[in-house]
Amino acid sequence: MKIANLTFPKYPVFLAPMEDVTDIGFRLLCREFGADMVYTEFVSSDALIRHVNKTKEKLTISEDERPVAIQIYGNDPDSMAEAAKICEEANPDLIDINFGCPAKKVAGRGAGSGMLKTPDLMVEITERVVKAVNLPVSLKTRLGWDEESKIIVDLAEELQDTGIVALTIHGRTRRQQYTGHADWTLIGEVKNNPRMHIPIIGNGDVTTPQICKQRFDETGVDAVMIGRASFGAPWIFSEVKHFLETGEEMAAHSFGWYLNVLKRQVQESVDRIDERRGILHMRRHLASSPIFKGIPDFKPTRIAMLRASTLDELFSILDGIEGQYGLGV
């Protein structure tokens, strides 16, 4: 499968762009574990053209994480075009447009999935971004604003006509946010529309290797994107890729192996930011990691783990979990 000049193996699996999650450290780790392409956190076009330092920091990419896409969002054609030019200077492999974020602070202002209320403007912005840069442009969106306005099948054709090189579809409406279940039916309909010729990437509720394979088989999508299932589990990409390639589940590692991956992620976060903010940044991953699920009477330890404010304190708690709960090495 190809996206512009990028070539991918059969069954490509991508890391979804997620705010406060897909920083450079996490992206590198997911690439190491087999993610075929990664995306930055989404970048505000308005903040970027105002040269807000915290926003511009999100444009930092590494040669080791390629292929990598920088994702931008906004609701003004001029701002989005100018922001895309700034992103181009960072030399990503793709520029991706976020028309999918359901967060109130984004969609409520008419950006992200809020664009699904104004599809004509959505198309105009996409055209402007495509024309503004020499890099290939892709975008990510949802089925529609709500259950009564699932417009993706017709909209996909209009977006394709702007010159984008790939389209990612999350199988929910904006109103659903992340509730209920992702509906891949319309994703498959877009993919199997004979008028569509760009790659279609499916996203939503891909939490196991088996589900990933099922989505490929049932819809024929060109790639699958994994989001929330990677929280605290960057190794999910190696598990998924192994199953897709062999049809067999990957043998589980020891508890200590998984714990060391998380500790490595914590250390990287602290080294990149600072101790206090690096640990705060990692709390979402620690809280969501599947390695702690099902441990009996784990609540007090979980609370202590998520309250730890220094690296020594956090690592002491993590190192004690194996012995405390008899999980072995």
The answer, yes or no, to whether residue 8 has pLDDT greater than 50, is yes
Q: Convert the pLDDT of each residue in 85-109 to its tens digit.
A: 999 999 999 999 999 888 878 887 7
Tell me which fold the domain 2-246 belongs to.
Answer: TIM Barrel (3.20.20)
Q: What is the pLDDT of residue 324?
A: 67
Q: What is the pLDDT of residue 179?
A: 82
Q: What is the pLDDT of residue 223?
A: 98
Amino acid code (one letter) for 217: D
Q: What is the pTM for the complete model shown?
A: 0.93
Mean pLDDT value of segment 274-279: 94
Mean pLDDT value of segment 284-303: 92
% of the chain beyond a pLDDT of 90: 82
Reference 81, options 42, 129, 120, 47; nearest CA is 129
Mean pLDDT value of segment 181-204: 96
Q: Secondary structure of the chain in the HEC alphabet?
A: CEECCEECCCCCEEECCCCCCCCHHHHHHHHHCCCCEEEEEEEEHHHHHCCCHHHHHHHCCCHHHCCEEEEEECCCHHHHHHHHHHHHHCCCCEEEEEECCCCHHHHCCCCHHHHHHCHHHHHHHHHHHHHHCCCCEEEEEECCCCCCCCCHHHHHHHHHCCCCCEEEEECCCCCCCCCCCCCCHHHHHHHCCCCCCCCEEEECCCCCHHHHHHHHHHHCCCEEEECHHHCCCCCHHHHHHHHHHHCCCCCCCCHHHHHHHHHHHHHHHHHHCCHHHHHHHHHHHHHHCHHHCCCCCCHHHHHHHHHCCCHHHHHHHHHHHHHHCCCCC
More reliable by pLDDT, 164 or 148: 164
More reliable by pLDDT, 327 or 181: 181
Amino acid code (one letter) for 203: N
Look at 126-130, 250-254, 262-266, 293-297 and tell me which has the smallest mean pLDDT.
293-297
Q: Convert the pLDDT of each residue in 30-57 to its tens digit.
A: 999 999 999 999 999 999 999 898 898 8
Look at 50-59, 102-111, 127-136, 249-258 and tell me which has the smallest mean pLDDT.
102-111
Give residue limits of the domains in the chain: 2-246, 255-324
Look at 147-161, 195-209, 311-325 and tell me which has the smallest mean pLDDT.
311-325
Q: Is 212 a catalytic residue?
A: no
Q: Give 215's pLDDT tier (boundaries 50, 70, 90).
A: very high
Q: What is the mean pLDDT of the chain?
A: 93
Q: Give 329's pLDDT tier (boundaries 50, 70, 90).
A: very low
Mean pLDDT value of segment 143-149: 84
Q: What is d(CA 53, CA 44) in angstroms, rounded to the nearest whole number? A: 12
- Active-site residue identified among 30, 87, 101, 212: 101
Amino acid code (one letter) for 194: P
